[in-house]
Structure 1
């Protein structure tokens, strides 16, 4: 089984990757199209040169890798906004899809702590909605996951036809061997974690009302389809 995990940034996507990685029957991949995305767009992301040097920038080669059958099962963590023009999507056909969403105010606040400039494309709500419309799959609001990790993970496994493994609830601190090189910039908090954090507090105030307004319709539409434990 190939599980494709889709999200924008700051959506507990790395924690979900660690959750599946802690199962003995899964291997994981961390954003294999990141370098190809940077090469295609020319965007100046943190650690850009290191990322370009760490992965292939050939999207066809990467697509073949992502489409290959795993030895057991695989969980592939992908960013929705990496699927720009020139990067194929046919490799994702036939896989099981899992979409992680988070309230835009939380995403904007968390992403803004790591980058000074933010665009709607960066937080990827529209891109993810487009992918969901094409590929379908399960939607998980990460607020529900933090509130009830056992219930939500159990529901995910049941919907996908795999047994729930309690190993998904905990993982060793310090990161994973499959982490992309960009982990040094983005994964500080999750490297300190050993499981899903508890419920979050009140929504943060954000200074970018334009981003919030643009993202909310996509978030609400996907949230209405999110699974419940």
Structure 2
């Protein structure tokens, strides 16, 4: 994909933004149309991880337009997921001209890491979070009344959870760049772990759409693990680049060094 110059008039920047948004929208539309006919198979795959909590193993459509609505939502969601690498690249490429030449070398690894982490979050959700969350929700519902597995409701919860976990799994990149690029000193990030953990707990409650304690605990545990792993990686990068003493530097130390 071509990269525009760093300095352009405002209208040229807006034109560049429009061009990249057009690429994203057209890509998603094409992917949505291509996968629409395969939506029954996609739905079958989506519910496979929670099938034991669906009475009869089959979803129910309760309205005349329900089937089309579900198929369209699934096709659109799948199209967005498939086009995730394009979406991430076009967004980052818009800001690429503003970066210095030595900073641009991080863009491709960043795009690859973002894509891998997003898909990793979805895989974690599919195999671990979804069965646990739907198991807890099914228990709460079946204790009160007969459960009718409405297709639109189940698909909405599944896709929202998958998306939430995919986005939440981008945390390691945020932590890594904040520390490795000296935006937040490693000592501050490491020393303020209690506040970070509280923030991650709040984030877990916000991101999980079903509001079940099981999902929030799983999300919280995953985010803590990712946070600690990203700090460990950033620690090694800082040691290699600046020496072990840099782990104790404050913002003032970095400013003095620069």
TM-score, length-normalised on structure 2? 0.24
Query: Of the two, which has the highest radius of gyration?
Result: 2
The structure whose RCO (Cα within 8 Å, separation 6+) is larger is 1
TM-score, length-normalised on structure 1? 0.26
Larger strand percent: 1
